Amino acid sequence: MTLGQIKLEALMLMYPEIRLPTDKDLANETLAYLQEGSLYCDLIASMDQSITRALFYIELWELTKSKRRVAKIEREEWCEYFLPLPSDAFLVNQVSARTREGNIPISFVVLDNEICVLEKASEYIIEYRERGIKIDAKTPLSTELSLANEVEVIIPYFIKGELYRESPKEAEICLERFFSALDKLSSIEKNRTECRISPYKIV
């Protein structure tokens, strides 16, 4: 989903009487029009910070995009070998050494901008969670959030939970639904992952 689609879905969730096109291109055009001078322009403008907070929780629940990258030793000291840490990594789940027998998971430690391993190999496979994008007022409505669809569709509930003022009870229910969905999706994702080795969060 695009940023424009997320905002439009949140707006229609708050005000069900509003029925607008959610097709990618039409949604972005509609939001651009509403942002300029409609009754909802201030509400739409405030969604950027709300989406950023939602993405923060999605990161913490380890639901950002899973990626793999091939790496080689960048430097070595004594019996320690250092690999470059992917710049878009939020959480490293596993590092495997490429051998003739296949990819073998190995122990690792994440440092500031490197990954330290003790096993020497010609190549390594780094499996990690991507860091979420940052949203602000200048972010184009056409920006793709690059999350799984089942994660993207719950973001409008967080937005309503934070910004909807007409019914605090409805807002509370939406926040509960968002966090409940995060727990469920995180549990499903962890069950899918095999041979996971002590992940290290990057700070």
The last residue of one of the domains, among 130, 153, 179, is: 130
Say if 202 falls within a structural domain.
no
Give yes or no: residues 12 and 94 share one domain. Answer: no
Question: Could you tell me if 68 and 125 are in contact, meaning their C-beta atoms sit under 8 angstroms apart?
Answer: yes
Cα 88 to the center of its chain, rounded Å = 11
Which residue type occupies 40? Answer: Y
Phi, psi of 13 (to 5 degrees): -70, -35
User: DSSP characters for 73-116?
Assistant: --EEETTEEEEEPPTTEEEEEEEEEEETTEEEEE--EE-SSEEE
Residues in the chain, total: 203
pLDDT in tens, the chain (203 residues): 899 999 999 999 999 888 877 777 787 788 888 888 778 889 999 999 999 999 999 999 999 988 999 999 999 998 899 999 999 999 999 999 999 889 999 999 999 899 999 999 999 999 999 988 889 889 998 999 889 999 999 999 999 999 999 999 999 999 999 999 999 999 988 777 654 444 444 43
For the chain, what percentages of helix, strand and coil (3-state, to nearest 5) are there? 40, 25, 35
Both tokens assigned to 43: 């509400």
pLDDT of residue 85: 96
Residue range of the domain that includes 80: 66-130
The last residue of one of the domains, among 130, 145, 174, is: 130
Give yes or no: residues 123 and 143 share one domain. Answer: no
Q: Is the dihedral of CA 56, 71, 75, 108 positive or negative?
A: positive
pLDDT of residue 193: 61
Say if 95 falls within a structural domain.
yes
Give yes or no: residues 126 and 136 share one domain. Answer: no
Give ∠ CA 126-133-196 in degrees, rounded to 5: 30
pLDDT of residue 38: 74
pLDDT of residue 19: 80
Give yes or no: residues 86 and 120 share one domain. Answer: yes
